[in-house]
Chains A and B, each alone.
Chain A
């Protein structure tokens, strides 16, 4: 193998040759990029289901794909399908349902939802009913298709059929870091020489009443319902929680050697990935930020670079008081004094927190940031938080030469993943 195709550690270089994005801003990377760099928000009042009694009544739902309510896995599948179609089309490989590599799919956990429970309950003739009665309703065979639909592997399996990916697809969850983990698994597989090309994606279409309420009960969501577009305020002093959102992104990952051999346009290089689990608390970061620092350092080490080599930070930046503060502590630990020289912005200020999909969507936006030499802003940054001084690219996009980005993702359950994305090798 020619030296040029390997990184400084002798591993195959992994490049991105296709990306696809769907968010509440719209479908396709062109529309998303245009709106993202214009500082537009995709956050709006929820109309999908009744919001009476809810503490939070806004979200970044994707409402333009279905006219009626569908189950969360149906929407997640549709979002992922659109993103993967766009990515594969751009990459120019593996179209027509014949993708020559594995699928790593970050998908939300699924379970039977309330409308389905209701239909089962309506089969029960006596009152009050107990949960076991639902099993008798299930055993009637009238709802047979729900079994497949609500399996954890269902969405990725349908995608494997649709795109003809190789082998058994991997469905994964590392909570809000899932999308980044999918990319990391693809990078590792290519480095191991298991495949020349891989499809990595993250998707989340699971804004439904119970999901919203569960996050509400954990006090994780903003309650700034009055002006939805101004509710997600990463790093601002008046941030008060995240906005649930939906979307998907897909990336075609490929060995540099393979991409060059077929003359593919190379969008970016996946230089490195790092992770470290936090064992402090189920929903909170260790106060010393050691796991956040450790995961970023591992990513930099894996890429063989130093903090001074980073031009821009695509933040996790959820807009919760805790996350943004801890992210600052972590970044300060890694970057030290240099941090003030590095612009950092949060896509979530505009698209909300797309949860399972976030890591993939933000990696895709990182690629576009490099390609377009333009940094998307952190909107709704009107009241700086003096405790976390950062150059957040406030409110307006900025033109800048960006050769290298780190994109961080942190999730409940102590999940921390950091990716290093760079421009094409000179």
Chain B
């Protein structure tokens, strides 16, 4: 594995997909839901006025058999560990200690899931206290659960995947919202393409049903409030409809996959990660146009857009998508926006679509979603961070 190959010299296959979202669990459930045209599953009540896409009910025991392990995790880690297990199952490498022992993992993660009751109780106390610092120390020492701090560490999603599923080749966690998903994929892809790695597990998880995350985005007025409206619809940037999801992919060199008799679901042909200087007018649209041009706008191509719905970034991406002339599917209109997890979720859905040879149908209310005439050979996945980072990938049909 020490050859000096350059990127692009080896193909990279997607041989496993693990997906759980508001639409369901697993590839078949997603394919059925996306083709049924039933619309997104949203909850505008629980966190009103904020709209979220709640996770479908999941039996975590199926992928995280030990209750003790489940208790050591917060929801985002459980979602991710579950989806990672689905991906390993899908690739046919689950429980294969020999392969998992050299599987390279890159996780896109947030973290910091709070205990809301504890935080509120502490704040109520502190507001009545005349010795803030001392009171805070006392309350934290008595109220924080020791396990909570582990459930809050960003790299502990990867840590839990190692523990529960035995993935131990390597373990890296990237942070940084949407672009962490793009870069996690890019690094796993580039290492395999260059011969630095044979098989990788890449993905992320997001729990939208969290008031601390809604708080972070509400600070800057970025969340979708009121009733759900489509992103890039009549109102181009209606706010971010965040969505709970876990999405992992198994990426593999063709040599490695073939040797173990595994079949590719689709080919990952390129991943690009860029950073526009957003203070410059038009920089985001230019960057996205350039990314789409790099990926190539041939026939039988659709764009699965990761447009978040955030003001600014979304209109700019919309402009670039319109200029491309390609049919577009805005995936936030189906599963919501999952920040760190969004990119790998869209890659999974792109590979799924290519394996069926068809794009998913358009939704109503989003004129950018034109029908695709004929077969589907190529999907360009975009990621324009709600705040920073522009990325794209090209997923192609095998053979």
Contacts and interface: CB of A to CB of B under 8 A. Distances in A.
Contacts of B388: 153, 157, 168
Nearest to A176: B155
A422 B214 CA distance: 48
A175 to B, nearest CB: 5
A209 to B, nearest CB: 6
A174 B109 CA distance: 11
A168 B275 contact: yes
Contacts of A168: 179, 182-183, 273-275, 388-391
Contacts of A50: 133-134, 136-137
A43 interface: no
Contact of B162 (A112, A194, A414): A414
A168 B274 CA distance: 5
Contacts of B187: 170, 185
Contact of A414 (B138, B159, B221, B390): B159
A128 B136 CA distance: 17
Contact of B219 (A147, A216, A218): A147
B215 A134 contact: yes
Given A117-B119, A118-B126, A49 B196 contact: no
A96 interface: no
B275 A192 contact: no
B179 A209 contact: no
Interface string A170-198: 11111100000100010010011110000
Contacts of B90: none
A141 to B, nearest CB: 6
A170 B174 contact: yes
B141 interface: yes
Interface string B151-195: 011111011101100111111111111011011000100110010
Interface in A101-151: 107, 109-112, 114, 117-118, 120-122, 127-132, 134-135, 138-139, 141, 143-144, 146-148, 150-151
A131 B177 contact: no
A109 B175 contact: yes
A193 B6 contact: yes
B179 A153 contact: yes
B218 interface: yes
Contacts of B156: 282, 412-413
B132 A118 contact: yes
A153 B274 contact: no
A134 B119 CA distance: 11
Interface string B222-244: 10000000000000000000000
Interface string A38-66: 00000000000111111100000000000
A156 B221 contact: no
Contacts of A52: 133-134, 137
A175 B156 CA distance: 9
B2 A9 contact: yes
B387 A148 contact: yes
A152 interface: yes
A210 B140 contact: yes
A54 B123 CA distance: 19
A120 B6 CA distance: 51
Interface stretch (B15-23, B27-35, B142-150, B297-305): B142-150
Interface stretch (A237-245, A271-279, A383-391): A271-279
A181 B212 CA distance: 29
Interface residues of A, number: 85
Q: Which of B6, B174, B194, B222 has the most CB of A within 10 A?
A: B174
A414 B168 contact: yes
Interface in B1-43: 2-4, 6-7
A279 B177 contact: no
Contacts of A413: 153, 155-156, 158-159, 162, 171
Interface in A282-296: 282-283, 291
Interface string A348-386: 000000000000000000000000000000000000000
B62 interface: no
A192 B190 CA distance: 8
Contact of B175 (A11, A129, A152): A152
A171 B155 CA distance: 12
A110 B50 CA distance: 23
Nearest to B197: A188
A152 B196 contact: no
B137 A128 contact: no
B127 A279 contact: no
B154 A135 contact: no
B220 interface: yes
A173 B273 contact: no
Interface in A385-425: 411-415
Given A10-B3, A118-B123, A213-B144, A188 B173 contact: no
Contact of B163 (A111, A129, A282, A411): A282
B168 A217 contact: no
Given A181-B172, A192-B6, A144 B133 contact: no
Q: Which of A141, A188, A192 has the most CB of B within 10 A?
A: A192
Given A114-B136, A192-B6, A218-B149, A279 B166 contact: yes
B259 interface: no
Given A112-B215, A210-B144, A279-B167, 4 more contacts: A109-B111, A131-B212, A413-B159, A413-B171
Interface of B: 2-4, 6-7, 47, 50, 72, 105, 109-112, 114, 116-117, 119-120, 123-124, 126-128, 132-134, 136-138, 140-141, 144-146, 148-150, 152-156, 158-160, 162-163, 166-177, 179-180, 182-183, 187, 190-191, 194, 196, 211-212, 214-222, 273-275, 385, 387-391
18 contacts: A11-B2, A11-B4, A53-B134, A109-B152, A111-B114, A131-B114, A134-B215, A144-B221, A147-B220, A147-B222, A152-B176, A152-B180, A170-B180, A170-B183, A171-B176, A171-B180, A412-B150, A414-B168
